[in-house]
A and B are shown apart, each in its own frame.
Chain A
Amino acid sequence: QQQVKQSPQSLIVQKGGISIINCAYENTAFDYFPWYQQFPGKGPALLIAIRPDVSEKKEGRFTISFNKSAKQFSLHIMDSQPGDSATYFCAASVEAAGNKLTFGGGTRVLVKP
Chain B
Amino acid sequence: GAVVSQHPSWVICKSGTSVKIECRSLDFQATTMFWYRQFPKQSLMLMATSNEGSKATYEQGVEKDKFLINHASLTLSTLTVTSAHPEDSSFYICSADRVDYYEQYFGPGTRLTVT
Contacts and interface: CB of A to CB of B under 8 A. Distances in A.
Contacts of B34: 100-101
A106 B36 CA distance: 15
A98 B106 contact: no
Contacts of A89: 43-44
Contact of A34 (B42, B44, B93, B103): B103
A45 B49 contact: no
B68 interface: no
Interface in A79-110: 89, 93, 95, 98-101, 103-106, 108
A43 B109 contact: yes
Contacts of A44: 44, 93, 106
A12 interface: no
A41 B108 CA distance: 8
Given A32-B102, A98-B32, A105 B107 contact: no
Given A43-B108, A46-B104, A100 B49 contact: yes
B102 to A, nearest CB: 6
B54 to A, nearest CB: 12
Interface of A: 32, 34, 36, 41-46, 49, 89, 93, 95, 98-101, 103-106, 108
Given A43-B107, A98-B32, A99-B102, 4 more contacts: A32-B102, A36-B106, A46-B104, A95-B102
Interface of B: 4, 6, 32, 34, 41-44, 46, 49, 91, 93, 95, 97, 102-109, 111
9 contacts: A42-B109, A43-B106, A44-B93, A45-B106, A93-B104, A101-B34, A103-B44, A104-B43, A106-B42
